[in-house]
Amino acid sequence: MILSFFPLLLPLTVFIFGSIVGSFLNVCIARMPKDESVVSPPSHCPVCKTPIPFYDNIPLISYLHLRGRCRSCREKISPRYFVVEFLMAVLAVLLFSRIGLGLAFFVNFVLVAALIIITFIDLDVRIVPDVISLPGIAVGLVVSIVNSQWLMVQSLLLPTPLSSALGILLGGGVLLLVAWSYQFFTGIEGMGGGDIKLLAMIGAFLGWPSIPVALFFASLIGSIVGVAFMLKKGVDSKYALPFAPFLCFGALVYLFFGELLIALYQPLG
Ligand SMILES: [Zn+2]
């Protein structure tokens, strides 16, 4: 009985751990754009400001139990809180099932958390927060150096320092070039500097081969969603979709299907 239960124990623990971290990511998403501290004051209802007791702050469960409403003022709580907790929990389990528990798991768990924060802040207020992407670039590079010097864990998801550095240059460089030429030919500023730093961060964590993959899938899904959006709302070329969520999606594609895709251009590197 215990043995048959045991295989589920670890993924379940990872799921719960992911949802708890997701709960913290929600705090970051709500507070970082306002330059507020993510540790104090403790969680409170954004409408009535009532502090949220611990039993109403249980990831996933509290949202369902309270049916998405504040206990004191009954105002609706954004479903984003549930979505972020669920997303982080599910991606943590997928990451665990892909590479097990080890250095590669924890490093890429941090990357996934950063991608989720950036995605939802960009959707919310149209900013890719430097406070995530810039330290992210440094963390990705430093981890690759520490790993190659001392830990020596072999994993596709832990690039060499050279690959990480090239990832930063390629990720930052390609989009900078796109942004410049787009602005040059159209006179419109289409791509923000935030997207450039985000792709550099992705390159730092995942190495240079992740850049073409992330860009390709970001553009592909971005175009599909963009066309669908235009069909629904009518053509309005002035409205630009936020690009960061698509770049984050592209990074996840590489994270989970990297070696399948990398085989396609292995001869290059
Ligand atoms: Zn309230």
Are 56 and 62 in contact, with CB atoms under 8 Å apart? yes
Q: How far are the Cα atoms of 137, 171, 207 from residue 168, in angstroms, in the given order?
A: 7, 5, 8
Which residue in 187, 186, 184, 182 sits closest to 195, CA to CA?
182
Which ranges of the chain does DSSP label H, i.e. alpha helix?
A: 2-31, 61-65, 80-99, 103-125, 130-146, 161-186, 193-206, 210-233, 244-262
Q: At what angle do helices 130-146 and 193-206 cross, to 10 degrees?
A: 20
Q: How far is the CA of 45 from the centre of ligand 1 (A)?
A: 5
Query: What predicted TM-score, i.e. pTM, was given to this entire model?
Result: 0.91
Are 15 and 93 in contact, with CB atoms under 8 Å apart? yes
Q: How far is the CA of 120 from the centre of ligand 1 (A)?
A: 22
Please give the pLDDT value at position 237. Answer: 55
Please give the pLDDT value at position 153. Answer: 87
Residues of the chain with pLDDT under 50: 269
* Distance separating alpha carbons of residues 189 and 179, to the nearest angstrom: 7
Q: How far is the CA of 76 from the centre of ligand 1 (A)?
A: 8
Q: How far is the CA of 153 from the centre of ligand 1 (A)?
A: 47
At a CB cut-off of 8 Å and minimum separation 6, what does 137 contact?
168, 197, 200, 201, 204
Q: How far is the CA of 159 from the centre of ligand 1 (A)?
A: 45
Which residue in 182, 172, 162 sits closest to 136, CA to CA?
172
* Distance separating alpha carbons of residues 50 and 20, to the nearest angstrom: 21
> Cα 155 vs. chain centroid, distance in angstroms?
20
Please give the pLDDT value at position 191. Answer: 64
Q: What does the block give as tokens for 184?
A: 């040059």
Q: How far is the CA of 241 from the centre of ligand 1 (A)?
A: 31
* Distance separating alpha carbons of residues 208 and 104, to the nearest angstrom: 17
* Distance separating alpha carbons of residues 232 and 252, to the nearest angstrom: 27
Q: How far is the CA of 260 from the centre of ligand 1 (A)?
A: 47
Q: How far is the CA of 33 from the centre of ligand 1 (A)?
A: 21
Judge if the upstream peptide bond of residue 41 is cis by omega within 30 degrees of 0.
yes
Question: Which residues on adjacent β-strands are paired with residue 76?
Answer: 69
3-class DSSP state of 269: coil
Which residue in 93, 92, 60 sits closest to 77, CA to CA?
60
Q: What does the block give as tokens for 60?
A: 């996933």
